[in-house]
Amino acid sequence: MEVIRNHHQLQAYIERNKEMGKRIGFAPTMGALHQGHISLYQAARENNDLVVSSIFVNPTQFNNAEDLEKYPRTIEKDLQKLEASQLVDMVYLPSIEDIYPEKTLSKKYNFGGIENEMEGASRPGHFDGVGTVVEELFKQIKPDNAYFGEKDFQQLSIIRKLVQILNLPIKIHGVPIYREESGLAMSSRNERLNPELKDKAKIIYQVLQRIKEWAPSLSVQEIAHKVKEIFEQEKDMELEYITIADEENLQPTNAFSANKKYRAFIVVVVGGIRLIDNIALH
């Protein structure tokens, strides 16, 4: 596996491989790699000649300085995992200047409304930060295919919109959520949970499964009420939001309609750690 640490070296690598007609599959990450990331590489391996990843903790997508500071950084371990997986041909580790040559600021995007709800409402500026870094990485890496996890389902929708807005010839693939045996969605943030909190956090997926059973016979309001009640009884856990939204446009709904597909989206803060998850209700 090649490790590339600046965009000049990257440019030479990409040009060389494009000239040879190699199809590039790309999965960006912020590191602290786990099996969820590996599942993106497995998907990429299936229809590309080269599998490329990147590790870059993108400051502009954090709206909270403490969250950015505490984000786990485990680069040596990550490189070992990537090597051991034998799925990745090249990993790009850009510096801040490789991505933000001038100021470390986001561009402003209009994603047609999907940026305003849920993560967009809870984390102002988050999706502008995501758009900015992914646009830059796409321009530097020029992938044919790019892979994003359904764990961050709203982000996946934003990226689909981004390539449409920018008219980039990149096919976006969503990869199913990879879970621990307990059902807890794998996340780099799980590293910050102690064993007791990690055990408690499995209730998040149990609740999502209950929602799937309840919908659509219970109303959206009844479901939200039940979920709030469950978390009110849990110590060390705070429900930030539970939202049921149309899977197509991510607009929250107040009532189920028969011909639409819905997803439940949840954020729970467990012992100060913000965990995100979602489930299809169809």
- Binding to ligand AMP in span 70-99, by CB under 6 A: none
> DSSP label at 179?
B
Q: CA-to-CA distance for 19 and 112, rounded, in angstroms?
A: 36
Among 149, 162, 220, 263, the residue binding ligand AMP under the rule CB under 6 A is 149
* Catalytic annotation, pick one of 37, 126, 173, 225: 37
When the beta carbons of 91 and 186 are compared against ligand AMP, the nearer one is 186
Residue 216 preceded by cis peptide, ω within 30: yes
Residue 19 CB neighbour total at 10 angstroms: 8
Taking residue 30's Cβ as centre, other Cβ atoms within 10 Å add up to: 18
Contact between 152 and ligand AMP by CB under 6 A: the answer reads yes
- Residue number with CB closer to ligand AMP (180 or 240): 180
Interaction between residue 132 and ligand AMP (CB under 6 A): no
> DSSP 3-state assignment of 205?
helix
All residues at 6 or more sequence positions from 153 whose CB lies less than 8 Å from its CB, including other chains: 174, 263, 265, 278
Contact region for ligand AMP (CB under 6 A) — 106-114, 146-154, 229-237, 259-267?
146-154
We find the least distance from the C-beta atom of residue 267 to ligand AMP, in angstroms, to be: 14
Q: Which residue in the set 36, 94, 120, 131 belongs to the binding site for ligand AMP (CB under 6 A)?
A: 36
Residue pair 278/261 in contact by the 8 Å Cβ criterion? no
Taking CB under 6 A as the rule, does residue 51 contact ligand AMP?
Answer: no
HSE, side-chain direction, 13 A CA sphere, residue 21: 0
37 has catalytic annotation: yes
Is residue 186 involved in binding ligand AMP (CB under 6 A)? yes
**Using rule CB under 6 A, residue 129 touches ligand AMP:** no
Q: How far apart are CA 36 and CA 175, in angstroms?
A: 9
Q: In whole angstroms, how close is the CB of 3 to ligand AMP at the nearest point?
A: 17
Candidate segments 42-50, 131-139, 179-187, 274-282, binder of ligand AMP by CB under 6 A: 179-187
The one-letter amino acid code at 189 reads: R
- 25 lies in the site for ligand AMP, by CB under 6 A: no
Nearer to ligand AMP, 149 or 262 (CB): 149
Cβ-based nearer residue to ligand AMP, 145 or 187: 187
For residue 224, state whether it binds ligand AMP (rule: CB under 6 A). no
**What is the three-state SS of 232-243?**
HCCCCEEEEEEE
- Could you tell me how many residues make up the chain? 282
CB neighbour class for 107 (10 Å; exposed up to 12, middle 13-18, buried from 19): exposed
Residues that bind ligand AMP (CB under 6 A): 29-30, 36-37, 39-40, 148-149, 151-152, 175, 177-178, 185-188
Which residues are marked as active site? Answer: 37
